Chain A
Amino acid sequence: MSTLQITDLHASVLTDEGPREILRGVTLTVDSGSTHAVMGPNGSGKSTLAYVIAGHPKYVVTQGSVTLDGQDVLTMSVDERARAGLFLAMQYPVEVPGVSVSNFLRTSATAMRGEAPKLRTWVKEMKEAMAALQMDPKFAERNVNEGFSGGEKKRHEILQLALMKPKIAILDETDSGLDVDALRAVSEGFNAFREETGAGTLLITHYTRILQYIHPDHVHVFVDGRIVESGGPELAAVLESDGYERFVSAGSTAS
């Protein structure tokens, strides 16, 4: 049983013109076994929330706290956070020229598990995980995210999720830009992971589409750097029919 606890989180992005506040007091608790959908309009700060939890160097926390099972996440380095059990499937995964997927994954697995997985068992494990996501085995020879299509990038993110088995997963718009087949493959991959590990999930999305495949326990509406309303899955249906408009005006009156 793990708990990610976000309390009154304020954070700014470092820009050339100086820091700019994006997160304005986010409070949210994600327990193992529960799936929280965070939905909001473009530019509301959803990715910022994900990046701040993961420790991206472009953002500074100005107030509040993030803990994982009581441990202060914000003082950990990026890699320590990952090894503590946090995983971020990124909205825009980064190209790493010259580093093959297989080398990347094995190095990551070595770091996560504390020792290098035996080559034979590792190759088998990787092949199976790739097959589950309907990925061509040749994929492992390509360089990380280099020349990947949108769908390939997202499958690769979920592949990592499946191999690294975090305690808490954050999926940042994993559904965006996917065709129906890719969305289904990625969702099935995620659901298998969730079932197997019982991890807690923060599912960030702009569209309700993915919620047909990945069922959330809680839905939060995220506007202007904070959660403005929380509810059950029925809230997603409201967003689907009414859009964000009502919440956007609520968000701006609150600020």
Chain B
Amino acid sequence: MTTLQAPPTDLAPVVISARIDDFAVPHGREEEWRFTPIGEIAGFFEPDPAAGAVIAEDSSFVTVVDMDHDNAGRWLPVDRAAAVARAGAPRVVRVRVPDDTVVEEPIVVTLSGEAARNHAHVEVRLGRHSKATVVVAHDLAVDVSGALVTEIGDGAHLTMLSVMDGPATSVQLWHWPVRVGRDATFIGSTVTIGGRIVRMLPSVTYDGPGGSATLLGAFLADGGQFIEHRILVEHVAPHCTSSVIYKGALEGAGTHTVWVGDVVVRRDAVGTDTYEMNRNLLLDDGARADSVPNLELETGDIASAGHASATGRFDDQQLFYLQSRGIPEKVARQLVVRGFFVDVLSRLGSAHWRDTVLARIAQRLGMDPELESSLEETA
């Protein structure tokens, strides 16, 4: 079941394998690790018998089962930490929605790690022509390395949200591989505002033509947090679309965020329509944001391809304008930060989550909850 392959590209992973030893221990100069404070996560590169399982409460569509490595989804690890986690994860949190099923209420999966360090394997599988919303709330009280393996059946529609909200103390290393079925739709969002060291790596591939993937992200880092999002979209089928929009705000000395957006359009993926964008807002002079969009086209026969990346400071003109209308500086900043995030959050497909996240962002930035609720009320 081990596969080794080297696709003809710089952007896709070179090694894909379930065997830990197929991956060297990273030294930190590799492209995919070059931003990460690797010394602080060394423990995740070796098997750890003391590591615990990540579980969730059973519910209508959610069960927790023992790991069966031969049936652990079609995804294989692409780095050593993922291989260690997959090999070491004792349990699988399984979210299954059968074919032709419309689930109205969001399926909320609240993860919980059993030990100080945990290996997680979460599988989300949506059957053909089904429709559901899945919210994965991560456990930020403990360290976790794992995968959120997602498969969307043909013609199905999955809205999914990964929420990392909690103390800024733990390490979170996650792969989020997504297979989008023929004519299927995926809206996958990451909200990352907790954790001390976070690596979230969504990757999308398509099982057939006509698939649509929208990847959205909002992240907020302060107090020396390291938050990294690496996105890989591999257009392997014709007439698929991808749209990647990530926005981050950061402040504080030593705070560091990384966004890498890799989009590969393979030779057969004619008619591809892809766009990726990352914008970062520096709230002070101490924080650092890296933003690297990469677009690789193996065919010119596409509908459209674009990318944009910008990192900017607080706009003094905006603050002046708002303040000149009597609005105190602190409130003006709150308005601007909220305004920065609101467009990406409005696309989550849920007003509830948009407002929840906006309120959490306001709270994290020490802003006024009363103002937040008055803004929601007016909006």
Pair B323/A78 contact, Cβ less than 8 Å: yes
A184 to chain B, nearest CB (A): 25
Closest to A106 in B: B378
CA distance A79 to B323 in the complex (A): 5
Is the CB of A236 closer than 8 A to any CB of chain B? no
Q: Which residues of A contact B338 (CB under 8 A)?
A: 98-99
Q: Which residues of A contact B61 (CB under 8 A)?
A: none
Interface size of B as a range: 20 to 34
Pair B378/A82 contact, Cβ less than 8 Å: no
Given contacts A96-B336, A97-B339, A99-B335, contact A108 B318 (CB under 8 A): no
Is the CB of A88 closer than 8 A to any CB of chain B? yes
Given contacts A82-B323, A83-B326, contact A96 B343 (CB under 8 A): no
- State which of B143-151, B161-169, B290-298, B369-377 sits at the interface with chain A: B369-377
Q: Which residues of A contact B375 (CB under 8 A)?
A: 103, 107
A114 to chain B, nearest CB (A): 10
Is the CB of B317 closer than 8 A to any CB of chain A? yes
Q: Which residues of B contact A100 (CB under 8 A)?
A: 378-379
Closest to A111 in B: B326
Is the CB of B324 closer than 8 A to any CB of chain A? yes
Pair A98/B340 contact, Cβ less than 8 Å: yes
CA distance A78 to B319 in the complex (A): 10
Is the CB of A34 closer than 8 A to any CB of chain B? no
Pair B339/A82 contact, Cβ less than 8 Å: no
Given contacts A103-B335, A107-B331, A107-B375, contact A98 B317 (CB under 8 A): no
Closest to B317 in A: A94
Q: Which residues of B contact A108 (CB under 8 A)?
A: 322, 325-327
Pair A54/B316 contact, Cβ less than 8 Å: no
User: Which of A58, A96, A111, A116 interacts with B321 by CB under 8 Å?
Assistant: A96
Is the CB of B362 closer than 8 A to any CB of chain A? no
CA distance A112 to B324 in the complex (A): 11
Is the CB of A119 closer than 8 A to any CB of chain B? yes
A102-120 CB mask vs B (1 if < 8 Å, else 0) is: 1110111011100010010
Contacts of B301-346 to chain A: CB distance below 8 A: 315-318, 320-329, 331-332, 335-336, 338-343
Q: Which residues of A contact B323 (CB under 8 A)?
A: 55, 77-79, 82
Pair A102/B379 contact, Cβ less than 8 Å: yes
Is the CB of A127 closer than 8 A to any CB of chain B? no
Q: Which residues of A contact B321 (CB under 8 A)?
A: 90, 93-94, 96, 144
CA distance A78 to B317 in the complex (A): 12
User: Which of A55, A56, A83, A116 interacts with B374 by CB under 8 Å?
Assistant: A116
Interface size of A as a range: 35 or more
Is the CB of A203 closer than 8 A to any CB of chain B? no
Given contacts A96-B339, A99-B335, contact A107 B327 (CB under 8 A): yes
CA distance A87 to B315 in the complex (A): 21
Pair A112/B326 contact, Cβ less than 8 Å: yes
CA distance A99 to B332 in the complex (A): 10
Contacts of B24-71 to chain A: CB distance below 8 A: none
CA distance A191 to B320 in the complex (A): 26
Given contacts A94-B321, A103-B379, contact A111 B327 (CB under 8 A): yes
CA distance A164 to B336 in the complex (A): 21
Q: Which residues of B contact A81 (CB under 8 A)?
A: 324
Given contacts A79-B328, A108-B326, contact A94 B320 (CB under 8 A): yes
Pair B343/A98 contact, Cβ less than 8 Å: yes
A202 to chain B, nearest CB (A): 15
Is the CB of A232 closer than 8 A to any CB of chain B? no
Is the CB of A32 closer than 8 A to any CB of chain B? no
Given contacts A96-B335, A103-B378, contact A54 B324 (CB under 8 A): yes
Is the CB of A5 closer than 8 A to any CB of chain B? no
Pair A164/B325 contact, Cβ less than 8 Å: yes
A46 to chain B, nearest CB (A): 17
Given contacts A111-B328, A112-B326, contact A56 B320 (CB under 8 A): yes
B residues bordering A, Cβ < 8 Å? 315-318, 320-329, 331-332, 335-336, 338-343, 370-371, 374-375, 377-379
- Known: A93-B321, A98-B342, A102-B379; 5 extra A-B contacts, CB below 8 A, are A77-B329, A96-B335, A98-B339, A107-B371, A108-B326
A residues bordering B, Cβ < 8 Å? 54-58, 77-79, 81-83, 87-88, 90, 93-100, 102-104, 106-108, 110-112, 116, 119, 143-144, 160, 164
8 contacting pairs across A/B (C-beta < 8 A): A78-B320, A93-B321, A94-B318, A94-B320, A98-B343, A103-B379, A106-B378, A119-B378
5 shortest interchain CB distances as A-B pairs: A98-B339, A94-B321, A78-B323, A82-B326, A108-B325
